[in-house]
Amino acid sequence: MVAEMGEAAPEAEVVPGAEGGHGEALMVLETLASSSLACTVPQFPTKWNSVKDKLRQLCSGLSLLRSNGGDGEDEEEEEGEEHHHVLAQFLQSASATVRAILDVASQCSDGTGGRLLSSSFAVLRNLSRVEEVKMFMVEQGVVTELVKLSQKMEEVRKLGAVELLHAMALDDADVREEAIGMGVIQSLLQLIYPDLPYSYKAREVALAAIWFFCFSSASSIDDLTSSDVLGWLLHYLNNGDYAVLDCTLKILRHLAEASEEYGRMMARAGYFAALSGLLAAKSFRVREMAAQVLSSLLALHGNRVIFIQDGDNLDRLLQLLDPSEGKLMAKGLILSAVMSLAETGAGRKKIVSSEHFGSLKELADSGDSDAKKVVKKIANSSRLQSMFSKIWSA
């Protein structure tokens, strides 16, 4: 299961005596390494036996690290050098183990290689949760190698590399900037290109990473919008599963809030019909996020003109205000969008002439303050227009 955007993966249960991220991560690693000893690769028995020897060394190093933490302050300085020596040995063992697994995996062609690669990336993700290990990995050029792997077409390599980069960069701006500079955004865009045969999980991972990497700077957002990504995101609004839809809406919400120009680009790309349709989705989160994006887009005058050109868009908004439906989810956001539309003469005419205008009026009659503001604005504008018409005719 993919973690929420901007959050670390779920943490493993901490064993007694293993405090903080170090002990927890070491426990997870030891479990992974031990369970890997039961695996076999019949195509390469000799090489796999060599890997198992390295796994045994890794397990031994992990066990020693976990039991070498010291109990008191007086022992810290005395045991510091020994602890760092053990850590250095462990890092060498871990590095050799992963390299050996990758070497065997790269030569497998029946699906075994993919499973081994996935296991290797899982080990590395857990390794990276230990700060000293992550620093060692960065110093050894892991970020560059991961970006190169993410540029491969094979899903297991791209997916594993992207997940690991995302995990390493969560609390490290330097890693994030290095990955961006090396071209990770282009790799992410490949994963969400609808015509390429990647799984929905790969799309979800890539969209989560796009939100994290691309919204760190204005130039990164420009790189994102200069591609055909708006068309691809629109595709996922209409065709994505829930997880992909959630990630897509999160990106669109931030795009709409980032600048007016991005909001205009989304309106011109044809997002209004898809967003209006999602206001009736079963998921409350999807309805709310779609309403947030729509409300942001309709804050721009030019976008309101585009929106009301399709009468169905406004009808959907007003229909959702029907009190008889009993589920006025995201009502405030929907009324905010309707209020924006009422700022223009054409918008007010469309609202009054809609077959669902009664839903808005009924909501106002029930005492809803926001609905009353919209109706009052329309009524005042109508009276003013009527007054000017009489003066003009006289």
Q: Are residues 158 and 183 in the same domain?
A: yes
**21-25, 129-133, 139-143, 378-382, range with the lowest pLDDT:** 21-25
DSSP state, residue 130: S
Distance CA 96, CA 111 (A): 23
- Are 344 and 305 in contact, with CB atoms under 8 Å apart? yes
Quick one: angle between helices 357-365 and 311-319, nearest 10? 30
| 3-state helix, strand and coil shares in percent for the chain, rounded to the nearest 5 | 75, 0, 25
pLDDT tens, 211-268? 999 988 888 888 888 778 999 999 999 997 899 999 999 999 999 999 999 999 999 9
Asked if residue 12 has pLDDT above 90, the reply is: no
pLDDT tens, 28-48? 566 666 666 666 666 667 766
Q: Are residues 62 and 134 in the same domain?
A: yes
**Bigger pLDDT: 65 vs 315:** 315
Residue 83: CA count within 13 A, CB half-sphere = 14
Domain that includes residue 61, residue range: 18-66+89-106+113-140
Q: Are residues 122 and 33 in the same domain?
A: yes
Rounded mean pLDDT of 190-212? 96
Asked if residue 11 has pLDDT above 50, the reply is: no
Asked if residue 182 has pLDDT above 90, the reply is: yes
Per-residue pLDDT band at 384 (split at 50, 70, 90) = very low
**Residue 87's pLDDT is what?**
60
- Are 213 and 176 in contact, with CB atoms under 8 Å apart? yes
Q: Are residues 28 and 128 in the same domain?
A: yes
DSSP state, residue 226: T
Asked if residue 67 has pLDDT above 80, the reply is: no
**Residue 120's pLDDT is what?**
77
Q: Are residues 56 and 25 in the same domain?
A: yes
**123-132, 188-197, 280-289, 296-305, range with the lowest pLDDT:** 123-132
| 80 within some domain | no
**Residue 136's pLDDT is what?**
81
Distance CA 98, CA 70 (A): 29
Among the listed residues 62, 18, 14, the one whose alpha carbon sits nearest the alpha carbon of residue 37: 62
Structure tokens at 232: 């691809």
Neighbour-count burial for 370-386, b at 16+ CB within 10 Å, e otherwise: bbbebbebbeebeeeee
**Bigger pLDDT: 294 vs 96:** 294
| 226 within some domain | no
| 101 within some domain | yes
Distance CA 149, CA 170 (A): 19
Structure tokens at 186: 């282009």
DSSP labels, 262-322: HHHHHHHTTHHHHHHHHTT-S-HHHHHHHHHHHHHHTTSHHHHHHHHTSHHHHHHHHHTT-
| 190 within some domain | yes
Q: Are residues 34 and 130 in the same domain?
A: yes
Asked if residue 339 has pLDDT above 70, the reply is: yes
Rounded mean pLDDT of 71-75? 49
Mean confidence (pLDDT) of the chain: 80
User: How many domains is the chain partitioned into structurally?
Assistant: 2
Rounded mean pLDDT of 275-280? 91
**77-91, 139-153, 168-182, 372-386, range with the lowest pLDDT:** 77-91
Return the percentage of the chain with pLDDT > 70, whole number.
Answer: 69
Q: Are residues 135 and 153 in the same domain?
A: no
Top-confidence range, 9-23, 89-103, 324-338, 344-358: 344-358
Asked if residue 19 has pLDDT above 80, the reply is: no
